[in-house]
Structure 1
């Protein structure tokens, strides 16, 4: 894996050695949508100027990997963006990394210069942090926490509803719980997730298959007019409308203000952060917005990788956030297809795949 680095006023590190193309003994290559991955040898080019080459140690299977594997048309490809590794070599001009550094790989960049960074990047972390755990912070867990803290900015005592209780949804729940939300409702069609979700802050669980009325109406009953915040973490654009309708609107907000005798802050905010497999377009009745609701998108939870991820890693080391608890399976690299099947069957949150030494 080669990723671009950022510049610095420091003097460039010398090339660690004469870098050449290397042959990786094992890579899981996807040759077609839904087809089993094939373990093959691949050649990895040397890092170009301002790039680094990383030896991946662990990668956790992300739901977006599964979505791309099932529905994308660009093949062959190698999945595994939610990874940790060790810098194997550096390209010319790189000052931020040296051979042997431990890093998180991130699918968005932060060069510190342009308004928007489109390339992926790596984030240096302590060599004392377990790579097989913090790989989750390179995507799923960070995305959920950031959606709750940065994008929604959940307030103390608020009500929250989360559609989809995978790793991202449960990370939103953790973030809402740490922000002091008084009611955190989880919605999922998998009944096995109800009890497990409590460990991450879910206070009430709803399975839409068990309800005789629309799920948004159930939520309005539970919250007294709608949730202050709702999160779509499924990757189903049709569910965005449901999430909007489950939010508190101006009228229920105004009534609640009158009944409580205080001026409540704002009204319903919906955040969508799932990656859709099909139908990427969102459709919603204009009335959902006319009544005061807001819809926001979230990419990686609004974090700036290089600036912000080290603080999340530090929170993990201080046991201020949960990460280990999302890991339900650890598998060797040769069982990568088993990991995909476990996620397809809804039997895992995060499966960490350990690369060969």
Structure 2
């Protein structure tokens, strides 16, 4: 790699080495649905106005990356492309107008940005950002509509989810970069705050506001579902019911606070009836991240009449609509979706990071594997085989 590999030591960097220059580095590029990642040299342009170029130190793989790699929606089929959206790293240089981060800062990228200027960013009721919110259709930078990545022939390589972290260097809009006051020992764990852990814990804390003594049901015990469990445990939930068709997940779930486990394939009655029976009338909160509308209906009906609340976390690619009659809302149950756990990234994530560093949320439990960056195809296979929660790649 040119211009940069030897200039970051324990967070110390001389920006004069690379600032304003094109950096050649290694990236994992995908050229089509389900094709193996190709590790190749790419050129990374300097950041333009209100952009930040960062050196990625660690990145991990989320189910959203897996979905994009498979090309499960038309919006994700833009090639060649650099995927990845969970990472931690160091600011290499900043473009004109960037004032909240500077060279050498430790940062995490966020796919759901916060510009601080739009009506949504100014509203305390939402973490949506009109200008830099999550957008799977976006493949180029907002400033000039071009990519900051090119291959050796000078042809563009497309961006992904405002981040593109499967590269030793990447360029992001400054709205999607969060400064984290972390020492070196914690930085790799901060990678998990870019998506999965923040999404799950935040859904419990911010979106649902789980209270001490509450009863919770979680539909799907992957990394996000287990992060919900960890968040509910930290809030003092008295009963956390985990629902999954894979019973091997219960042992890991128990370490995250899951108290009861249900395998729907073993039931002789509707799932929501079983949960209502176990929770004496229904849970206070249910969380669905399977991405299946039939499961979502079970989650909705498993909550207690009068106050039960369901949070939708799963991505639902099917055109099938939510099967509910309007009169069912008259039982007093509520439902909402949650993006990035309700966290406003730039203003609220730094505090959440401090909570994690002091052990309120135990991030280590989510890292099941660590591999060098050139083993990225193996890391994806681990996720597909259900063997990993988060595989951390060292760049």
Q: Scaled by the length of structure 2, what TM-score is found?
A: 0.78
Match of 2:360 among 320, 325, 344: 320
Partner of 2:21: 20
Call closer, same or farther: CA 1:103–1:278 in 2, change over 3 Å. Answer: same
Gap runs ≥5 in structure 1:
1-14, 251-266
In 1, distance between residues paired with 2:103 and 2:318?
41
Alignment of 1:220-231 (within 5 A): 220-231=276-287
Call closer, same or farther: CA 1:47–1:280 in 2, change over 3 Å. Answer: farther
Match of 2:183 among 118, 128, 140: 128
Alignment of 1:162-177 (within 5 A): 162-177=218-233
Match of 2:90 among 86, 89, 102: 86
Match of 1:286 among 293, 303, 326: 326
Deviations 1:298-335 (A, max 9, x none): 00111111111111111122112111110000011111
On the 8 A contact 1:67/1:275 being kept in 2, the answer is no
Alignment of 1:225-304 (within 5 A): 225-250=281-306, 267-279=307-319, 281-304=321-344
Partner of 2:64: 64
Query: Which secondary structure does the structure 2 equivalent of 1:56 belong to?
Result: strand
Query: Which secondary structure does the structure 1 equivalent of 2:347 belong to?
Result: helix
In 1, distance between residues paired with 2:229 and 2:43?
41
- Establish whether residue 352 from structure 1 lines up as the match of residue 392 from structure 2: yes
Alignment of 1:31-42 (within 5 A): 31-42=31-42
Gap runs ≥5 in structure 2:
1-14, 121-128, 133-161, 163-175
In 2, distance between residues paired with 1:136 and 1:46?
26
**Residue 282 of structure 1: how far off its partner (Å):** 3.0
Paired residues, number: 324
In 1, distance between residues paired with 2:387 and 2:320?
26
Partner of 2:139: none
Alignment of 1:107-118 (within 5 A): 107-116=111-120, 117=129, 118=131
On the 8 A contact 2:19/2:46 being kept in 1, the answer is no
Partner of 1:52: 52
Call closer, same or farther: CA 1:192–1:294 in 2, change over 3 Å. Answer: same
Query: Which secondary structure does the structure 2 equivalent of 1:49 belong to?
Result: coil
Cα RMSD after superposing both structures: 1.7
Instruction: Please identify, of 268-277 and 193-202, the stretch whose mean Cα deviation from structure 2 is larger.
Output: 268-277
- Establish whether residue 195 from structure 1 lines up as the match of residue 251 from structure 2: yes
Partner of 2:135: none
**Residue 131 of structure 1: how far off its partner (Å):** 2.3
**Residue 127 of structure 1: how far off its partner (Å):** 4.7
